[in-house]
Amino acid sequence: MRSLLKKTPFEAKRFDFNEVVGDAVDFLSAFAVGRKVGLEKATTPDALPIIGDRIQLQQVLINLMVNAFEALADARSVDRRISIRTLRVENLPSFQSRTTVRAFRKTG
């Protein structure tokens, strides 16, 4: 993760997309706890091999998740949650993010 902080040249390599998503979620887990937002991850059971720059992809994923945290920042609710999911769509790796806000607590 230290490599996220320094500027490096583009380096295309083969890696598992699930691992990159997992690393990004792990990196932001303390951030989520501090903001009282649940952060859930669901990755495919099989590897999702891709070719690209792992560091740049991690930066993009982290930026997307931080944007989701910011979108939830003003939501007054008892349950704020960000769900991250990987899947295969038409034989290509894919990423989905969903934010959930539950405003009322069940009583009775």
DSSP result, 68-107: HHHHHTT---SEEEEEEEEEEETTEEEEEEEEEEE-----
CA distance 82 to 32: 9
Q: How far is CA 93 from the centre of its chain?
A: 14
What tokens were used for 46? Answer: 């099989």
Query: pTM (2 decimals)?
Result: 0.79
Q: Span 2-102: which CATH code? A: 3.30.565.10
Task: Give the pairing of strands 79-89 and 92-102.
Answer: antiparallel
What is the per-residue pLDDT across 39-52, written as a single tens digit (0 to 9) for each?
999 999 999 999 99
What is the per-residue pLDDT across 10-49, written as a single tens digit (0 to 9) for each?
889 999 999 999 999 999 999 999 888 899 999 999 999 9
For residue 4, pLDDT beyond 70 = no
